[in-house]
Amino acid sequence: MNTIREYIEQMFKGVPVTEETVQLKADILGNLEDKYTALKESGASEHEAIVTVIAEFGDIDELLEEFGVSRVNEQVTKNYETMSESDLRQYIQAKGKMGWNIGLGVLACLTGVAGLLLFLAFQSVLSGALYIGLLFLVGFSVIGIGLFIIEGMKAGELERFSSPYIILPGDKEQFISEQKDYKRSFIFSIVAGVSLCIMSITPILVGALTAVLPILVGVAFSLLLIGVGIIFFTYSGNIWSAYESIKHNGKYVEVIEKETVKHKRNKKVDYVIDEIYWPIIVVIYFVFSFTQGTWAWSWIIFILAGALESTIKSLAGSWDKD
């Protein structure tokens, strides 16, 4: 019986480990063992049974071809993780949830500020409004920052998806076509988010130009609208970037070694952008907005910075090629 098991192990050596191939291997092994047992029961000797079973195994390459996998250098499958379709589906889901929670965190922080402004607006009729307002600010900021921290910690679990891994051709095609289908929702979300941010100027204008509501109340509502708008960006943006990441990091087993060298160089650029570029933009945004009071339109810096990011990346990419 052990001989059969070893034979199957040998046959499946170097085959990418996926849910599908693991099941296939288990099924075939099970069949061969059944066959072996039946032969023994019908009076065959140990040797005869094993020879017959192995002779009836067939040609592994025929099978792998049908499954669309190719056997590779064992080293390659050891060096790189193989992601199954369900792994990647969980990844997209986790990214979406992360985007949603980060958006909620931003909304919570903005709600805190908006609450403070609202109470300040009614300071003349409500004694202690400043303190209630501050309490409001602190409470919501804690929720918001809490969400950031939780999501930041969860991001570590998704680390393995940020370096190259082996993907099966069928799965990659599937995800690329799913991304195409998702494009409409993505564009809709971006348009909705931008519209909300632009609309957010209305309450401020109403506050400034009419007597309907105090300007502070106007700013408060404006912040809330921006907060909701940001959720659209972070949620759909994260799902979109998950698909993009699968497209870039999911590599076919035959080419993964060659393509990874390139990836390592690009990673340095990505690191600079993620760790230095964006924090600087955020700092500029806050400093500028606080000192100049330009909250209504200074968020545009993120759109400009986003546009500039791809330019920087492609410039860095073209330098690399030289």
Q: x/- string (CB under 8 A) for another protein, residues 171-210?
A: ----------------------------------------
Least separation in angstroms between CB 33 and another protein: 8
Spatial neighbors of 49 by CB under 8 A, at least 6 apart, are 36, 39, 40
Task: Tell me: does residue 35 bind another protein (CB under 8 A).
Answer: yes
What is the three-class DSSP state of 165? strand
Which of the ranges 34-42, 109-117, 284-292, 297-305 carries the binding residues for another protein, by CB under 8 A? 34-42
Q: x/- string (CB under 8 A) for another protein, residues 9-28?
A: --------------xx-xxx
What is the three-class DSSP state of 225? helix
Task: Tell me: does residue 38 bind another protein (CB under 8 A).
Answer: yes
Task: Tell me: does residue 56 bind another protein (CB under 8 A).
Answer: yes
Q: In terms of CB distance, is 66 or 159 closer to another protein? A: 66
Least separation in angstroms between CB 60 and another protein: 6
Q: In terms of CB distance, is 34 or 254 closer to another protein? A: 34
Interhelix angle for 169-199 vs 85-121, to 10°? 10
Half-sphere exposure at residue 308, Cβ-oriented, CA atoms within 13 angstroms: 10
Q: Please tell me the distance from the alpha carbon of residue 296 to that of residue 176, in angstroms, as a whole number.
A: 38
Least separation in angstroms between CB 93 and another protein: 23
Spatial neighbors of 177 by CB under 8 A, at least 6 apart, are none
One of 6, 31, 145, 162 touching another protein (CB under 8 A): 31
Least separation in angstroms between CB 22 and another protein: 12
Q: In terms of CB distance, is 66 or 322 closer to another protein? A: 66
Q: How many residues are recorded in the chain?
A: 322
Task: Tell me: does residue 7 bind another protein (CB under 8 A).
Answer: no
Q: In terms of CB distance, is 24 or 192 closer to another protein? A: 24
Least separation in angstroms between CB 42 and another protein: 12
Q: Please tell me the distance from the alpha carbon of residue 272 to that of residue 278, in angstroms, as a whole number.
A: 9
Q: Please tell me the distance from the alpha carbon of residue 253 to that of residue 68, in angstroms, as a whole number.
A: 11
**Alpha helix ranges (H) inside 122-274:** 129-157, 169-199, 201-209, 215-249, 256-272
Nearest to 222 by CA among 198, 238, 190, 243: 198
Task: Tell me: does residue 269 bind another protein (CB under 8 A).
Answer: no
Least separation in angstroms between CB 15 and another protein: 12
What Cα–Cα distance (Å) separates residue 36 from each residue in 1, 13, 24, 60, 135?
Answer: 8, 22, 18, 19, 75
One of 59, 159, 181, 275 touching another protein (CB under 8 A): 59
Task: Please tell me the count of residues contacting another protein according to CB under 8 A.
Answer: 22
Least separation in angstroms between CB 34 and another protein: 4
What is the three-class DSSP state of 251? strand
Q: Residues interacting with another protein, by CB under 8 A?
A: 23-24, 26-28, 30-35, 38, 56-60, 62-63, 65-67
